[in-house]
Amino acid sequence: MIVGAGPSGATAAACLARRGWRVAVVGPRPGAVARGETLAAEARSVLAGAGLWELVERLGRPCHSSWSVWGTPWPHRRDPLAGPWGPPWHVDVGRLTDALLDLAVRFGARLYPGRARVGRGGAPAAVSFELDGGQEEVTAGFLLDASGRAALGARAFGASRLTVDHQVAVTTWMRVDSPAVSTLVEATETGWWSTLADAGRLYLNYFTDPDLLPRPLALDAELRGAPHTAARVRAAGRGARPRLAVTSGSVLNRVAGCGWAAIGDAAATFDPLAGMGLHHALNSAVTAADAVHGALLGTEDGLDDYARSERDLFHEHLRARRRRYAAEGRWADRPFWRRRTRRVVPERPARRPVSLCPC
């Protein structure tokens, strides 16, 4: 049973159904919301091993132009070919998720496009969901939580979310003439901007803290502090209405246990500056699917290893995050930047260990 039909849930469903397991995915399809993300090139290794990289190549485009205004007022180009896997890829997350769900269905998975509600954790796991015809319930020997920050399944098993900040993003997109794929990151006194241009659209994101948001929610004044981003916006046409999204870093105090595991944003969320969101969503799904396959065959060491790797990945991310924000020294004494260069300890001692409890 997989709770959540986003990129993590869809990937895990395809991996497990391909191996012959009966898989049920509960959750509405993401829909046709325009959402462009950059997928780190390192994802190629894991996805190719799972037979999924060809979907990225078919639906995405490599990004060969990446610029940064960080630590100085002048833009400098970051070489996207510096790593062994080549350039990152720009992907429409909605289209990729739909393709992964279709693949899972071809392998035999069943989709229940209702809103899930997970009962008290136990084995077997019970998930109820609402459809047009009423409410139904499904039980399963294992539950994968891919429900995003809500972590519906993990919380039913007693896990809790620990956060390191309260960052939010104002996001929108606009129409542009250029078909080229390019990214720009620009720091300002109260946060930072990212823009991604691809196939006639400019995806615009402004990251800051809630107490630093302009009131009312208007970005014109904030753009005055980001001249290079503002130049891109001036060259764009009309687009979507801005919306507010939570982008704080967080991690579960436990990401796996007897009969369950959390993947993607349900397990951990990362600062968008790291560019790890989509990579982690897909990578954690593939890794957890391998661990679940082993657990259902009677070998549970894989789930222990998965939980440990998620914990280690998040703490390494915190160290890298602090170094990256410290590299922007122009506003080191301003609240947004000061909050991100101090040491943060997101976890408290858990009552239960990270490793699996005996069933």
Per-block mean pLDDT, blocks of 10 residues, the chain (359 long)? 93 96 87 70 86 89 86 84 70 90 95 75 58 67 92 91 94 81 91 88 93 81 92 86 92 93 97 92 96 89 94 94 95 96 62 37
Strand partners, 194: 185, 205
Q: What pLDDT sits at residue 92?
A: 85
Helix then strand count (H, E) for the chain reads: 10, 22
**338 CA to centre of own chain:** 25
- The 10 Å CB-count burial string (b at 16+, else e) for 171-198 is bbbbebeeeebbbbbbbbebbbbbbbbb
Question: Rounded CA gap, 288 and 285, in Å?
Answer: 5
What's the chain's length in residues? 359
Q: What pLDDT sits at residue 145?
A: 95
Q: What pLDDT sits at residue 347?
A: 47
Q: What pLDDT sits at residue 198?
A: 78
Question: Rounded CA gap, 6 and 33, in Å?
Answer: 12
Q: What pLDDT sits at residue 160?
A: 94
Q: What pLDDT sits at residue 122?
A: 54
Q: What pLDDT sits at residue 358?
A: 33
2-63+89-164+250-341 topology per CATH: FAD/NAD(P)-binding domain (3.50.50)
Strand partners, 24: 110
- What sign has the CA pseudo-torsion 318, 322, 327, 331? positive
Tell me the two tokens of residue 322.
């602090």
Comparing CA positions, the residue from 276, 283, 265, 286 lying closest to residue 12 is: 286
Tell me the two tokens of residue 205.
């994101």
Q: What pLDDT sits at residue 356?
A: 37
Question: Rounded CA gap, 81 and 76, in Å?
Answer: 15
